[in-house]
């Protein structure tokens, strides 16, 4: 217990003394995960939309596929991409292994099914009349899509937040694809893994705190937007 | 309308980022060296101490991927890194023989120590040979934690069991599949024996209840070697950078730096580069 | 457009031949009343005309010649407006909902003018800034009609426009529909209680067993209720 208190105190002083290395790691984490999310959102939204509103062969299969992909361990996704991106792999020519781009690819792969899956549920729950009303009032397909997106924005925002939470705290794929290189591909989760293995609990806890505070802030923000947050609103 | 603009702006930003990092790929051929190495060199703080000196002098920047020796060599075999620094002499020899690397340069050594609970339930403190100590541990079925991760340390441990003519198995023998620090931690928690490299041990000894119960046997000698990944196999590898790093590591300056690296006021690594080897090759190349 | 002649519209639901080779003329300035039992296919027919549901066979004779379903959807469905039984209101104010129906290219000033006119037309001035989703059923319908008035489609399709409304709201709706008709729109109204629309209706068709049959006007009108309705308007 004493050790934990001590480590937490050290963690706080590390955070507030503006430890450069620590904040650099935080910066890399956010940069990679935010970009991964931004890249993943538009295609995921379109696909979720197609799944919710389109009628095509394989639609049900795709829905099942993306739900399944949610439970694939991140290490497996990391390993698959590692094999693809390794020099010996089919995409080895790109020389992407152990770069931030590789980490981003991993996180996009992780975020995508979640965005599609939760996004699809949100859009499915949307009133079909929203789409039809938009269309009958002369909206283009894109505009109607954006309108419906806006109508179910809270559900979609939840999808985005859940996905962000998944990728920013994910260690397996980032470790394999980024290689945990200092100043380059060391992000919060891989740094926590490393510091913990070295017995440097203060660093680990400090980084954990950053994640925790961020998760809290995001959720408070979401609830703020959602307003009342109880049934009957 | 606003949303549309936002969308396209975001797409542009993300695209330009992907491109910029794709362009960054062009650079490693010149100034970025990727090195896979064992956790002991990274986590002891040695590389953090050494590499800035090298980087400042030559303008290269070295990206370190710290894993077990087995995986570090595999990354070299696959051409995913430019240079490998590891401590698994037999595997390194094979690495060079198979043509994955040009030549193994000895850099330095430290040694392994056998750690265990202060009470020493197996009673190995007085024994002179490592194999004997291991045999005693097995005999008394005292808990022993193995790295179990195909690292240099793991390979060394298996070799000692072999010398002792014991096949370690049973409730008392546990494979962790984890890094050295973690295994020392676990051994401390579980009152178990383990084999550790001295560098890592010195770095974490203040946090561990374990003690060195056996050391100094010749068998525990732990040499580090560095190898550039073969350019014949992977033409676009940063071979010049790798060779520059090697040349610096085995140079007088690099060797002196290794000797001056201390943790808890103790020297961790003893430089042992064969000077003849280095000078036979060529003088350190610099980045223009 | 002075006349569209829909013909050969068929629709199957599983084994059921819901609509059998239906022909339906739509004249500018006419109001066609569509009656039929629950489940007779009134809504399906309207949704086919709106372009929301795909018929099994379909063609339409227009000034552009004979069009199939795909061509109809492409060229004409933008001139058709469908009102749901429960109109859908987008997130935002009544003003924003009306704005949605205006063509994109109008200037801010033009939009404001048109919206003001629409608010006056549908007696919604007081509600301009109210949240559209919070309106009552009658107000919903008026906003929906005001959107139609702004959009000025050639054909207005209405599915049970007066269900769940009190007497006053019904009278208002009929009154507004009369104005739209006199502006030259073709109205197609599906309704259970045809009597409310007797002042508007120029053609009456009855859907039964997949067949659409003309009903002579005034045939069923026998009570004084209609006259009082007329007088009140």
Structure tokens at A115: 């965005």
C154 touching chain A per CB within 8 A: no
Domains of chain A: total: 1
C100 touching chain A per CB within 8 A: yes
Predicted local distance difference test score (pLDDT) of residue B36: 95
Q: Which domain holds residue A61?
A: 6-226
Whether A232 maps to a domain, the answer reads: no
Predicted local distance difference test score (pLDDT) of residue A7: 77
Higher pLDDT, B28 or B253: B253
Predicted local distance difference test score (pLDDT) of residue B18: 47
pLDDT of A148 higher than 90: yes
pLDDT of B28 higher than 50: no
pLDDT of C146 higher than 90: yes
- The residue of chain C with its CA nearest to that of A148 is C90
Q: Among A61-70, A167-176, C219-228, which stretch is predicted with the lowest mean pLDDT?
A: C219-228
Q: Among B11-15, B177-181, C171-175, which stretch is predicted with the lowest mean pLDDT?
A: B11-15
Q: How far apart, in whole angstroms, are the C-alpha atoms of residue C209 and residue C215? A: 15
Taking residue B139's Cβ as centre, other Cβ atoms within 10 Å add up to: 11
Q: What is the mean pLDDT of residues A99-114?
A: 95
DSSP 3-state assignment of C219?
A: coil
Predicted local distance difference test score (pLDDT) of residue C193: 76
A132 touching chain C per CB within 8 A: yes
Q: Which chain A residues are within 8 Å of C86, Cβ to Cβ?
A: 129
Predicted local distance difference test score (pLDDT) of residue C1: 54
Task: List chains adjacent to chain C, taking adjacency as at least 3 C-beta pairs closer than 8 Å.
Answer: A
pLDDT of B120 higher than 90: yes
Whether A196 maps to a domain, the answer reads: yes
Contact C81 A137 (CB under 8 A): yes
Structure tokens at B78: 């696959």
Contact C149, C177 (CB under 8 A): no
pLDDT band, very low/low/confident/very high, at B30 (cuts 50, 70, 90)? low
Q: How far apart, in whole angstroms, are the C-alpha atoms of residue C129 and residue C91? A: 12
State pLDDT tens for residues B131-144.
Answer: 999 999 999 999 99
Predicted local distance difference test score (pLDDT) of residue A1: 60
Predicted local distance difference test score (pLDDT) of residue B261: 93
State pLDDT tens for residues C42-97.
Answer: 999 999 999 888 899 999 998 888 999 999 988 877 789 999 998 999 999 999 99
A40: domain CATH number? 1.10.3720.10
Nearest to A114 by CA among A165, A60, A178, A175: A165
pLDDT band, very low/low/confident/very high, at B283 (cuts 50, 70, 90)? very low
Q: What is the mean pLDDT of residues C179-188?
A: 92
Average pLDDT, rounded, for chain B: 84
Contact B179 A197 (CB under 8 A): yes
pLDDT of B67 higher than 80: yes
Q: What is the mean pLDDT of residues A157-179?
A: 91
Nearest to C77 by CA among C48, C38, C120, C55: C48
Q: Among B43-47, B124-128, B210-214, C229-233, which stretch is predicted with the lowest mean pLDDT?
A: C229-233
pLDDT band, very low/low/confident/very high, at A6 (cuts 50, 70, 90)? confident
Q: Which chain A residues are within 8 Å of B184, Cβ to Cβ?
A: 199
Whether A178 maps to a domain, the answer reads: yes
Measured in residues, chain A has a length of: 233
Q: What is the mean pLDDT of residues C166-192?
A: 90
Count residue pairs from A and C with Cβ separation < 8 A: 40
3-state secondary structure chain A: CHHHHHHHHHHHHHHHCCCHHHHHHHHHHHHHHHHHHHHHHHHHHHHHHHHHHCCCCCHHHHHHHHHHHCCCCHHHHHHHHHHHHCCCCCCHHHCCCCCHHHHHHHHHHHHHHHHHHHHHHHHHHCCHHHHHHHHHCCCCHHHHHHHHHHHCHHHHHHHHHHHHHHHHCCCHHHHHHHCCCCCCCCCHHHHHHHHHHHCCHHHHHHHHHHHHHHHHHHHHHHHHHHCCCCCCC
Provide the H-helix boundaries in B29-165.
Answer: 39-43, 46-58, 69-77, 89-97, 130-139, 152-163
- The residue of chain A with its CA nearest to that of B186 is A197
pLDDT of B251 higher than 80: yes
Average pLDDT, rounded, for chain A: 87
Percent residues over pLDDT 90 in chain B: 58
Q: Which chain A residues are within 8 Å of C84, Cβ to Cβ?
A: 129, 132-133
A139 touching chain C per CB within 8 A: yes
Q: Which chain C residues are within 8 Å of A233, Cβ to Cβ?
A: none
Q: Which chain C residues are within 8 Å of A155, Cβ to Cβ?
A: none
Q: Among A45-49, B275-279, C39-43, C166-170, which stretch is predicted with the lowest mean pLDDT?
A: B275-279
Whether A98 maps to a domain, the answer reads: yes
Q: How far apart, in whole angstroms, are the C-alpha atoms of residue B89 and residue B155? A: 10
With a CB cutoff of 8 Å and minimum separation 6, the contacts of B211 are: B115, B116, B117, B118
pLDDT band, very low/low/confident/very high, at B17 (cuts 50, 70, 90)? very low
- Rounded to 5 degrees, φ, ψ at C59 are -150, 160
Whether A231 maps to a domain, the answer reads: no
Contact A50, A57 (CB under 8 A): no
Beta bridge partners of B1: none
Whether A204 maps to a domain, the answer reads: yes
Whether A20 maps to a domain, the answer reads: yes
pLDDT of A10 higher than 90: no
Nearest to C43 by CA among C155, C138, C158: C158
Q: Which chain A residues are within 8 Å of B27, Cβ to Cβ?
A: none
Domains and CATH numbers, chain C: 3-232 (3.40.50.300)
Contact A180 B21 (CB under 8 A): no
pLDDT of B195 higher than 90: yes
Q: What is the mean pLDDT of residues B273-279?
A: 53
Contact C90 A133 (CB under 8 A): yes
Q: What is the mean pLDDT of residues C120-129?
A: 92
Whether A233 maps to a domain, the answer reads: no
Predicted local distance difference test score (pLDDT) of residue C33: 93
Contact B4 A142 (CB under 8 A): yes
Domains and CATH numbers, chain B: 28-109+223-281 (3.40.190.10), 111-220 (3.40.190.10)
Q: What is the mean pLDDT of residues B93-104?
A: 93
């Amino acid at each position: 217990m004493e050790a934990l208190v001590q480590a937490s105190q050290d963690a706080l002083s590390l955070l507030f003394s503006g430890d450069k290395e620590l904040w650099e790691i935080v910066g890399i984490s956010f940069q990679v995960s935010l970009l991964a999310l931004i890249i993943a959102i538009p295609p995921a939204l379109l696909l979720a939309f197609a799944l919710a509103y389109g009628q095509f062969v394989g639609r049900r299969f795709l829905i099942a596929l993306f739900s399944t992909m949610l439970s694939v361990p991140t290490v497996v996704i990391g390993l698959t991409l590692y094999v693809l991106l390794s020099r010996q792999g089919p995409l080895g020519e790109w020389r992407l292994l152990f770069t931030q781009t590789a980490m981003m690819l991993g996180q996009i792969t992780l975020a995508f099914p979640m965005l599609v899956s939760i996004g699809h549920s949100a859009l499915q729950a949307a009133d079909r009349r929203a789409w039809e009303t938009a269309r009958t009032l002369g909206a283009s397909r894109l505009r109607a899509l954006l309108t419906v997106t806006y109508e179910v924005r809270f559900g979609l925002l939840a999808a985005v937040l859940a996905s962000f939470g998944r990728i920013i705290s994910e260690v397996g794929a980032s470790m394999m694809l980024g290689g945990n290189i200092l100043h380059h591909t060391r992000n919060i989760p891989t740094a926590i893994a490393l510091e913990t293995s070295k017995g440097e609990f203060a660093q680990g806890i400090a980084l954990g705190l950053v994640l925790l505070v961020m998760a809290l802030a995001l959720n408070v923000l979401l609830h703020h937007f959602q307003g009342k947050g109880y049934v009957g609103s | 309308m606003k949303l549309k603009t936002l969308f396209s702006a975001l797409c542009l930003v993300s695209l330009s980022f992907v491109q910029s990092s794709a362009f960054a790929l062009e650079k490693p051929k010149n100034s970025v060296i990727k090195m896979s190495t064992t956790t002991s060199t990274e986590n002891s703080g040695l590389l953090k101490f050494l590499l800035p000196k090298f980087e400042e002098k030559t303008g290269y920047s070295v990206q370190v991927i710290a894993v077990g020796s087995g995986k570090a060599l595999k990354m070299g075999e696959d051409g995913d890194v430019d240079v490998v620094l590891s401590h698994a002499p037999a595997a390194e020899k094979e690495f060079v023989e198979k043509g994955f690397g040009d030549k193994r340069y000895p850099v330095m050594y430290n040694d392994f120590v056998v750690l265990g609970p202060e009470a020493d339930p197996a009673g190995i403190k007085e024994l002179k040979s490592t194999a004997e100590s291991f045999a005693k541990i097995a005999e008394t079925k005292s808990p022993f934690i193995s790295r179990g991760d195909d690292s240099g340390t793991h390979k060394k441990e298996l070799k000692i069991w072999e010398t002792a003519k014991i096949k370690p198995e049973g409730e008392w023998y546990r494979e962790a599949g984890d890094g050295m620090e973690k295994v020392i931690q676990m051994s401390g928690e579980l009152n178990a024996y383990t084999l550790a490299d001295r560098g890592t041990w010195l770095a974490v000894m203040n946090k561990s209840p374990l003690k060195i119960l056996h050391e100094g046997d010749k068998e525990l000698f732990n040499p580090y070697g560095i190898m550039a990944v073969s350019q014949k196999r992977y033409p676009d590898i940063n071979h010049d950078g790798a060779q520059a790093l090697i040349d610096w590591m085995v140079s007088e300056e690099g060797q002196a730096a290794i000797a001056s690296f201390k943790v808890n006021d103790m020297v961790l690594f003893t430089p042992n580069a064969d000077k003849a080897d280095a000078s036979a090759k060529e003088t350190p190349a610099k980045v223009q | 457009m002075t006349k569209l002649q829909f013909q050969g519209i068929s629709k199957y639901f599983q084994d059921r031949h819901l609509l059998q080779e239906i022909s339906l003329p739509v004249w500018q300035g006419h109001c066609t009343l569509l009656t039929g039992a629950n489940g007779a296919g009134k809504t399906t027919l309207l949704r086919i005309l709106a372009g929301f549901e795909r018929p099994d066979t379909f063609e339409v004779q227009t000034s552009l010649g004979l069009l199939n379903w795909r061509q109809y959807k492409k060229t004409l469905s933008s001139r058709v407006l469908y009102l749901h039984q429960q109109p859908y209101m987008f997130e935002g104010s009544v003003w924003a909902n009306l704005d949605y129906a205006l063509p994109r290219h109008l200037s801010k000033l033009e939009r404001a003018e048109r919206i003001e006119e629409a608010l006056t037309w549908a007696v919604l001035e007081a509600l301009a800034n109210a949240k559209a989703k919070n309106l009552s059923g009658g107000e919903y319908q008026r906003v929906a009609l005001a959107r139609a008035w702004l959009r000025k489609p050639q054909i207005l399709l209405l599915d049970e426009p007066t269900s769940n409304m009190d007497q006053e709201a019904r009278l208002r709706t009929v009154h507004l529909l009369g104005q739209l008709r006199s502006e030259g729109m073709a109205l197609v109204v599906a309704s259970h209680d045809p009597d409310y629309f007797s002042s508007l209706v120029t053609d009456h068709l009855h859907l039964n067993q997949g067949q659409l049959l003309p009903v002579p006007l005034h045939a069923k009108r026998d009570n004084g209720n209609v006259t009082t309705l007329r007088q009140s308007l």
